[in-house]
Amino acid sequence: MFVVGISGSPRKAGNTEFLLGEALAVSKERGFEVERLNCSELKIDFCTDCGDCSKGRPCPKEDDAARILEALQSADGIIVASPVYFGSVTAQLKAVFDRTIPLRRQGLKLKEKVGCAVAVGASRNGGQERAIETIHNWMHIHGMIVVGDNSHFGGIAVRPAYEDRIGRKTVVASANKLCDLLERTCPKGSCWGGD
């Protein structure tokens, strides 16, 4: 089974990438194949809703979106992480979300995949729940199954993330919940990868 993680931060090796690494480490320890997609390393242009994907044609933009779409379509589970910049997800992550329109328009290709969200902010109540709500909304629009951290909305941390023991626990709990559901709904050998 395969879990893809997306970091929506434009900063390399920052809090968001650190927390996504912790979530993916949980998946890897539990026997899942993992892939990380960092917005800090990818070129993603904005969607202009040209309509080509509605007609079954590939997106005319030449950037890293095709790589992201391929990874998401292959995934069983998806973990999305974002810093909170102005009360929500970053512009880079929103661009990624918008560019996934072909996966919806061409047959709901993310339907039934399991997803969870992680957000990190400057204070304990710094907009993380709003950012997670935006991530969950994107997942629901695609028909995904959304999980939290067993008692709340997902992984919520405060920067510096490596010092936030409580926040890191919610990230690990969210990743474990995602893995728990994948193992229940997709027993080994019956899903992607045929493990």
For residue 44, the tally of other CB atoms under 10 A from its CB is: 22
Q: 76, 118, 72: which is closest to 97 by C-alpha?
A: 72
Q: 48, 131, 137: which is closest to 90 by C-alpha?
A: 131
For residue 118, list its beta bridge partners: 81, 155
Predicted confidence (pLDDT) at residue 103 exceeds the cutoff of 90: yes
Q: How confident is the model at residue 32 (pLDDT cuts 50, 70, 90)?
A: very high
Q: 180, exposed or middle or buried, with CB in 10 Å at 0-12, 13-18, 19+?
A: middle
Q: How confident is the model at residue 97 (pLDDT cuts 50, 70, 90)?
A: very high
Asked if 127 and 158 touch (Cβ cutoff 8 Å), the reply is no
**pLDDT tens digits for range 144-174:** 999 999 889 999 999 999 999 999 999 999 9
User: Residue 186's pLDDT is what?
Assistant: 73
- Ordered by start, the domain boundaries in the chain are 2-194
Pick one of 3.40.50.740, 3.40.50.360, 3.40.50.880, 3.20.20.80 as the CATH number of 2-194: 3.40.50.360
Q: 32, 29, 42: which is closest to 68 by C-alpha?
A: 42
